[in-house]
Amino acid sequence: MKAYQVIESGEPLQLNEFETPEPKGTEVLMKTIACGVCHSDVHIHEGAFDLGGGNKLPLPLDKPYTLGHEIFGEVIKLGPDASDIKIGDKRVIYPWIGCGKCDVCKVGDEHLCAAGPVLGVQKGGGFGDHVLVPHSRYLMDAGDTPAHLAGSYACSGLTAYTALKKSGVKDKENALIIVGAGGLGMMGIQIAKAAFNTKPIVVDVDDEKLKLALQNGASHVINSKHEDAAQQIQMITGGAEAVIDFVGSELSTEFATGLLRKGGKYVLVGLYGGELKQPLPLVVLLERNIQGSYVGSLANMKELMALVRDGKIDPIPVEKRKASEASQTLQDLKDGKIMGRAALMHD
Ligand SMILES: [Zn+2]
Ligand SMILES: [Zn+2]
């Protein structure tokens, strides 16, 4: 098999060839068809998250490693104990795999497990042309979703769906604000409409992305660079019930929390980095709920994929790239040059 691998943090990926793994026990070997490229891949490639104040959270990963956690592939080989799947099945892979033994895993929150092995982080991901999955329970039927789009439900779709559930907004107009109109934001709009009967107001600093958000169903779009952006939003919402922040920078956090009504909820999803600075008395006096949200559980993924198969969620724009363009695609994503999502297509 071959894979575009991280050899040194932040350096261009390298094409390596090595032996294709043999599935053992319940394992399933998939041939990668497409793999979405996510902002997390950019951070993992850089080898650290920015904690603000000059501090970094390093990611101690054994190099070389293979990125890519938005994987869509075809089953090509089964371990002797694999069940409920057959060769030729095409599936989206749930990559947020846990140890299966610790307390969070036992309650179904494998995505919060400290041990992993997460695909595309600790274990080889979809920047490789084959992926080994430990069990068929992590394989999801995407119905007739096109290959280049399907993988995006495993991260951006799942992340947006989970954050929307946490926001608590349902069946309401102009109560929810989405900050960030990239791939996640775009997915957030579609899922808010489809599963929560809510059209969000979308905020970004890029007018092109806002235009796309409006075409994709945002109720209003506001450029936060405009001086009166916060007042404009206040006029529409009268104070938002919830804000989902898909950027997660110091600027977006300050802006987003300022839009909430009393008792409102701020759901922080983006990993841009920095520190959360809040006037503490306001957290108390306004009963601000501040909640982090990281990808999502296997149960949430199942709920989401049922909506996908039923055709309830409109597709987001996904640009197809060749797998050999993996390095450039990471750079383009970092530079904010991708509209919606990009997916690497393997031959
Ligand atoms: Zn991701
Ligand atoms: Zn665990």
Query: Do residues 95 and 205 both lie within one domain?
Result: no
pLDDT at 292: 97
pLDDT at 50: 81
Gap between the Cα atoms of 293 and 60, Å rounded: 22
Q: For residue 59, give every residue at least 6 positions away whose Cβ sits within 8 Å of its Cβ, in sequence order, or none.
A: 43, 44, 47, 48, 49, 121
Query: Do residues 241 and 265 both lie within one domain?
Result: yes
253 contacts 267 by C-beta, under 8 angstroms: no
pLDDT at 96: 97
What is the rounded average pLDDT for all residues in the chain? 94
Query: Do residues 21 and 136 both lie within one domain?
Result: yes
What confidence tens digit (pLDDT) does each residue in 121-143 have? 999 999 999 999 999 999 999 99
Per-residue buried b or exposed e for 282-291, using 16+ beta carbons within 10 Å of the residue's own CB: eeeebebbee
pLDDT at 59: 84
pLDDT at 317: 82
Query: Do residues 267 and 181 both lie within one domain?
Result: yes
Query: How many angstroms does the Cα of residue 284 sit away from the middle of ligand 1?
Result: 33
Query: How many angstroms does the Cα of residue 291 sit away from the middle of ligand 2?
Result: 22
pLDDT grade, residue 49 (50/70/90)? confident
pLDDT at 58: 87
Given a cut of 90, whether residue 338 has pLDDT beyond it is no
pLDDT at 85: 97
pLDDT grade, residue 55 (50/70/90)? confident
pLDDT at 219: 95
Q: Residue 147 belongs to a domain with what CATH number?
A: 3.90.180.10
pLDDT at 15: 97
pLDDT at 339: 79
Q: Which of 127-131, 170-174, 302-306 has the lowest mean pLDDT?
A: 170-174
Q: Give the mean pLDDT of 8-20.
A: 95
Percentage of the chain with pLDDT > 70? Answer: 100
Domain membership of residue 37 as a residue range? 2-152+296-345
Least distant ligand from the CA of 102: 2
Task: For ligand 1, an ion, list residues with CB under 5 A.
Answer: 38, 40, 155
Query: How many angstroms does the Cα of residue 97 sit away from the middle of ligand 2?
Result: 8
Helix H or strand E encompassing 150: helix 147-150
Gap between the Cα atoms of 159 and 291, Å rounded: 14
Query: How many angstroms does the Cα of residue 38 sit away from the middle of ligand 1?
Result: 5
209 contacts 271 by C-beta, under 8 angstroms: no
* Radius of gyration over every alpha carbon of the chain, rounded to an integer in angstroms: 20
pLDDT at 337: 87
Q: Where are the beta strands (DSSP E) in the chain?
A: 2-6, 14-17, 28-37, 48-52, 55-58, 65-66, 70-78, 90-93, 130-133, 139-140, 173-179, 199-204, 220-223, 240-245, 260-268, 289-292, 318-322, 341-345
Higher pLDDT, 276 or 223: 223
Least distant ligand from the CA of 154: 1
Query: Do residues 133 and 247 both lie within one domain?
Result: no
Report the number of distinct structural domains present in the chain.
Answer: 2
